[in-house]
Structure 1
Amino acid sequence: MSSATVSRTGAAPGRKPMSARTERVLRIVAPISVGVIVLGVWQFLVSVVGVSEYLLPSPASIATQFVEYLPSILSAMAITGTNALIGLIVGSILGIGLAALAANSRLADGMSAPIVASIAVIPIVALAPVLNSMFGADSQFSRQAIAALATFVPIFINTLRGFRQTRAVHRDLMRVYAASSSQVLRTVTLPTAKPFIFTGIRIASSLAVISALVAEYFGGPRGGLGGLISTSAASSAYARAWAYVVASIVLGLLFYVATLALERLANRRGGGS
C-alpha cells in the first residue's frame, strides 16, 4: 500500500481509525486472552491428553498449592524481594556513578571497559556457592552482591550511552553562560540521559530478581523463593515448586512495574513526555 492511499490518521481509506480508548482496552484484553488460552491448553494436556503431573503439573494443582502455601510464599517473596531491591539500588548507584566518571574522563573510560566486560561474563551459578562459603550460610550478603553485579552492567552501559548523547555545542553554550559543572550536569546532561538511565534500570529490575533467585538456589540461608523451589523439587512436590515459580514471576513483574511507574513519575516532575 502506497503512502498516498493512507490517510493522515494512519488508517486505510474506508476504515475507521481506532480510538485511544479502544486501543487501551485491547492492550489489556489481548495479553489476558492469550494467557487464558495458554492455561486452557495446558490444563487440557494434563487432564485429557494425560501428560504426567511429574512432567507438567496442571494449572489447577499449582493454583491449589499457591493458595495453600500463600503465607510461606509471601514470606519468601519478601526475602527475595529485599535481596533483589538492595542489589538493584547498589548496582544503580555504582553503574550511574561509574558511567558519569567514564563519560568525563578518557582514562576512566578506558579502565572501566575491561572491568565491565569481565563482570558481564561472570557465571552466577559458579559465583553463588563461592560467596555463600565466604560470607557464611546465615548471611544474605552474597545474594545481594550477586544481584548488584547483575544489575550494574546494563545500567552502566545504558547510562554511559545516555551521557554521550549530549551535544558538545550545548555544553559549550552553558560554559559561555559561565555555568558550573554541576549546573551543566543538572540542566543538560541528566535530562538528555534520563531515558537511557531508566531503560537500564527497567532491564536491571528483572535481572535483580533472577540473580537473587539463582543465588538462593545454590545454598545459603533458606526462606527465599529460590531455596524453596529447590527444596520442593527435591522432595518431588512439583506443583508446589511451580507455585513458587509463579510467585517469582509475580515478583519480577512487580519490580518491572515499579520501575516503570518511577520513570513516569520522574518524567512528569521533570516535564518529560
Structure 2
Amino acid sequence: MGRAVDGGRKAALPVLLGVAAVLIWQGVVSLFAVPAFVLPGPFAIAAAFFGNAANIASASLVTGSNALAGLVIGGLIGVLAAVVAAFLPIFDRLAGPTVTALSVVPIVAVAPVLYTMFGAGEEAPRQIVAGIAVFVPVYVNSLRGFRQVRPVHRDLMRSYAAGRWQATRAVTLPSAVPYMFTGLRIASSLAVISALIAEYFGGPVGGLGKSITSAAAGSNYTLAWAYVLGAVVVGLLFFCATAVLEKYSSRH
C-alpha cells in the first residue's frame, strides 16, 4: 500500500509541474497580449491540435513510420557492429574514426544529398538519416556493455570448459542488454527528431516537418505549434516504448 502511495506521489509531481507550467504560459500570453506569431497560448494550440486531429495523426504516422524504420535498421546495425567490434579489436580500431565522423554529420548536409541520390519522391532518405542518428548511440552503448564482463566471470566460464558461444550467451549478453536498451532509449528520440528535420529539405509531402513548414508559411502559427505538439507526442511514444522494453528486459 505504501509503495502504491509513493508511486502515486512520484507520478503526480511531474503532472502538477506540467500543469503549472501550462497555466503560467497561458497567463503570460494573455496578460501581455503576446502575438500568435511570437508565441501562441497553450489553450489555442490545444484547440488547433484537437480541431485538426486527423491531419496531425496522418502526418505523425508518416514521420513515425520513417523514424521507426530508422530506429530498427540503425539499432540492428549498431548492435551487430558492436558485437563484431567486441570480438575483433582491430575492427573497433578501424571503425572508431568512422563512428566519430557519423556522430557529427549534420543532417542539413546529408538530407539534400540523399534526396538527390534516391529521388525527391522517396521516403528512404529520411529513414537513412534517422538510421544514422540511431546507429551511433546504440553502437557506443552496446560496445560498452559487451566490455563490462568482469575478468573473474570469464575465468569462471573457462574453468567450466564453456565454449565461446556458451560464455557469450550466459555472461556477455546479459551484461550487455541493459546498455543496448539504454542506447535505444536515447536513440528513440533522435530518430523522431532526425526524420522530422529531414522533411524540411525535400521529399514527399505529408510528414510533420512539411506540415509545420506549410502552416508557418501560411502564417497559421497556432496550427504550426499544434503540429509541433504532434511531434512531441510521437517522440514521447517512442521514448516510452523503448523504456518499457528496457524495463521488461531487465526482469527477464
| 237-246 or 217-226: bigger deviation | 217-226
Kept in 2: contact 1:84–1:212 (CA 8 A): yes
Give the alignment of 1:117-266 within 5 angstroms.
Answer: 117-266=100-249
Give the alignment of 1:67-82 within 5 angstroms.
Answer: 67-82=50-65
1:140 counterpart letter in structure 2: E
Deviations 1:231-268 (A, max 9, x none): 11111110000000001011011001101111122222
* % identity of equivalent residues: 50
Higher relative contact order (CA 8 A, sep 6+): 2
Partner Cα distance (2:55, 2:132) in 1: 28
Q: The residue matched to 2:193 in structure 1 has which SS? A: helix
2:119 counterpart letter in structure 1: G
Q: The residue matched to 2:249 in structure 1 has which SS? A: helix
State the TM-score, normalizing by the size of structure 2. 0.96
* Structure 2 counterpart of 1:9: none
1:86 counterpart letter in structure 2: A
Cα deviation for residue 176 of structure 1 reads 3.2
Cα deviation for residue 175 of structure 1 reads 2.9
Partner Cα distance (1:112, 1:171) in 2: 25
Cα deviation for residue 173 of structure 1 reads 2.5
Partner Cα distance (2:114, 2:168) in 1: 37
| Displaced runs of 4 or more, over 3 A | none
Matched, 1:90 2:69: no
Partner Cα distance (1:192, 1:145) in 2: 29
Q: Is the radius of gyration larger for structure 1 or structure 2?
A: 1
Cα deviation for residue 55 of structure 1 reads 0.3
Name the Cα RMSD after superposition: 1.4
Partner Cα distance (1:183, 1:257) in 2: 33
Cα deviation for residue 20 of structure 1 reads 2.3
Q: The residue matched to 1:149 in structure 2 has which SS? A: helix
Cα deviation for residue 121 of structure 1 reads 0.5
Higher helix share: 2
* Structure 2 counterpart of 1:6: none
Q: Number of aligned residue pairs: give it.
A: 252
Gaps spanning 5+ residues in structure 1: where? 1-17
* Structure 2 counterpart of 1:35: 18
Cα deviation for residue 209 of structure 1 reads 0.5
Match of 2:89 among 98, 102, 106: 106
Kept in 2: contact 1:217–1:229 (CA 8 A): no
| 113-122 or 124-133: bigger deviation | 124-133
Q: The residue matched to 1:80 in structure 2 has which SS? A: helix
1:252 counterpart letter in structure 2: G
Match of 1:50 among 33, 45, 54: 33
Deviations 1:46-85 (A, max 9, x none): 2222111110111121112111211111111111111111
Gaps spanning 5+ residues in structure 2: where? none
| 167-176 or 69-78: bigger deviation | 167-176
2:83 counterpart letter in structure 1: A
Cα deviation for residue 19 of structure 1 reads 3.8
Partner Cα distance (1:77, 1:180) in 2: 47
